[in-house]
Amino acid sequence: MLYPISTQTRTVMDLSGIWKFSLTENHDPRTPLSSEEVMAVPGSYNEQGVLRRIRNHVGSVWYEKEFEVLHALQKERLVLRFGSATHQAKVYVNGQLVMEHKGGFMPFEAEINDFLQPGKNRVTVEVNNILDYTTLPVGNYSEKDGVKKNAPNFDFFNYAGIHRPVKIYTTPKSYVEDITITYEVKGENAQVHFKETVQGDHDRVRFVVRDEEGAVVCDTYEKSAVISEVKLWNPLAAYLYEVEIHVEKNGETVDLYRESFGIRTVEVKDNQFLINGKPFYFKGFGKHEDFFVNGRGLNEALNVTDLNLMKWLGANSFRTAHYPYSEEMMRLCDRQGIVVIDETPAVGIMHGFNFALFGGDGEKKNTYEVMDTREAHEQVLRELIARDKNLACVVMWSVANEAATQEEGADAYFAPLIQLTRDLDPQKRPVTMVLIMMSMPHNDLVSKYLDVICLNRYYGWYINTGELEEAKSALRKELSDWKTAYPDTPVMFTEYGADTVAGFHAVDDIPFTEEYQVRYLQANHEVFDEFDHVIGEQMWNFADFETSVGIIRVQGNKKGLFTRQRQPKMAAHTVRERWMKIPDFEYKKR
């Protein structure tokens, strides 16, 4: 799905702003929404609503906004597009259903020409936040005596609402529907291939590629072209070309779309992760789309701030834990040279996940006998790869986070999904999954399918709490076991961290203090550096974030290197000292 842009043949109208809002469960969209409440879009209604009845609401809510379309545009194709709505949405225009979408983190759209009327129009959206054993993420939904409960099967807040921009964009009747860009780098040149989908009456399609200075490097009607003396996209040194796709009829351009793209190679070989043929070392974080007031709603100023803080630290990468991030963030990373592991919202595929704390049913069952998430999983893989396939910043797909990959049935569930990921990706990026601590070399059932084994490990925190020497010994043993079990597969750490309350201090190794966070990270780094098959470290988490209420959480998860306000903890300076000395390439030479 193409990102909406304005060109000489297209225009974009933004519907973001203040919308009417209501918790009414059974609103009839054929009548205007009668409510004095409002919500800003994009944004989570949980944060904006403040009060418990809104913040903790379970079920449907309603949004509504009036709009008008310039008369001159009504001869064009008009498309209503949502960047996301969490987690399910039904969209009505003037009371008529125009589209539905399940899944809270991907864009969806529909043509609305046939639903419009002269003058003012009304878009109404029903957004439902219920998560169960068929959805991703997974939730523990229950209803008793008319009371709905929706305990998440994951450790972050179940923010809901219209989280990303709502836009109406136009195209001509003949238009570019999609473009796929692949390439082969051959010495100093690159052979670039274009695979376009065009709808409507047209004669031919022209491809004009420009470099960053705007100079034309190729102009062709062929499906491929050679870029001589190609400039490669590199971590923290991005270089983006731009292709203009001209749909022509009778020698005239009837539609024009522009797509930026970087050229780089990615390969896992000899226990190394190679970008442009050089061994890359991941330095970075797991993150969340999470901030005051916005909740999970798009905040572009925050995105810029976060990337600048990463650069200050010497970081070069992050994982989109635990769901696809906004298109705006992904496009920013492409431009800024930030390496991204792109993850689906497949979190919580584990029956009984911390049910004592998060409200499960109290009886542990086999995950793959009770979960029914395959359909949602396949859908989001198709949508995610279709959306992000051309981004140079995306170097690896993460199929899931912390699933029960040690349980019977994991092999049969995940092997087809991993293969589907490989089949769908035109650039054939490496594929991984992020393994929970219970999934070890002797019992994990999916590692054999992965290009990189990604580990979430908390020795010294959840295990060996406060005992860092014991933690280092346990971590060394596990890394040795992975090396023995999978000698040709590199390992990276996608989570390791210790909850730290800013301002808490102690001389001894006391958990939750800033000093302990420093020593905890140093202990992990000491062990990472001892193993040449460890290709990266992405700590948990970039910044403190909101979670469900629980006795092990102090106003959320405090494992951030920064507070939720983006103030650095003591460990940030320690990590910066380490990472500024670690080059992006050739850190662990063979």
Decide: 180 and 195 in contact? Cβ < 8 Å.
Answer: yes
Name the more confident of 552 and 432: 432
Decide: 239 and 233 in contact? Cβ < 8 Å.
Answer: yes
Q: pLDDT value at position 360?
A: 46
Q: Coil, strand, or helix at residue 38? A: strand
CATH class of segment(s) 12-171 = mainly beta
Closest to 242 measured CA to CA, from 181, 197, 309, 316? 181
pLDDT band at 353 (very low <50, low <70, confident <90, very high): low
pLDDT in tens, 119-134: 999 999 999 999 999 9
pLDDT in tens, 8-22: 999 999 999 999 999
Q: pLDDT value at position 354?
A: 57
Length of the chain: 590
At 353, the amino acid letter reads: F
pLDDT in tens, 364-392: 789 999 999 999 999 999 999 999 999 99
Q: pLDDT value at position 25?
A: 82
Residue 357 has pLDDT above 50, yes or no: no
289 is catalytic: no
State the pTM of this model. Answer: 0.97
109 is catalytic: no
Q: What is the mean pLDDT of residues 227-241?
A: 98
CA-CA-CA-CA torsion sign (328, 22, 88, 15): negative
Residue 589 has pLDDT above 70, yes or no: yes
Q: pLDDT value at position 554?
A: 86
Name the more confident of 502 and 360: 502
Q: How far apart are CA 12 and CA 309, in angstroms?
A: 32
pLDDT band at 551 (very low <50, low <70, confident <90, very high): confident
DSSP string, 479-548: HHHHHHH-TTS-EEEEE----B-TT---SS--TBSHHHHHHHHHHHHHHHTT-TTEEEEEES-SB-B---
Is residue 46 classed exposed, middle or buried when 0-12, 13-18 and 19+ CB atoms within 10 A define those classes?
buried
Q: pLDDT value at position 576?
A: 98
Residue 356 has pLDDT above 70, yes or no: no
Q: What is the mean pLDDT of residues 573-578?
A: 98
CATH class of segment(s) 357-579 = alpha beta
What is the average pLDDT score of the chain?
A: 96
Q: Annotated catalytic residue: which of 402, 407, 514, 546?
A: 402
Q: pLDDT value at position 355?
A: 43
The fold of 175-261 is: Immunoglobulin-like (2.60.40)
pLDDT in tens, 149-198: 998 999 999 999 999 999 999 999 999 999 999 999 999 999 999 999 99
What is the percent of the chain where pLDDT is above 90? 94
Q: Report domain extents, the chain.
A: 12-171, 175-261, 357-579
Q: Annotated catalytic residue: which of 343, 495, 537, 546?
A: 495
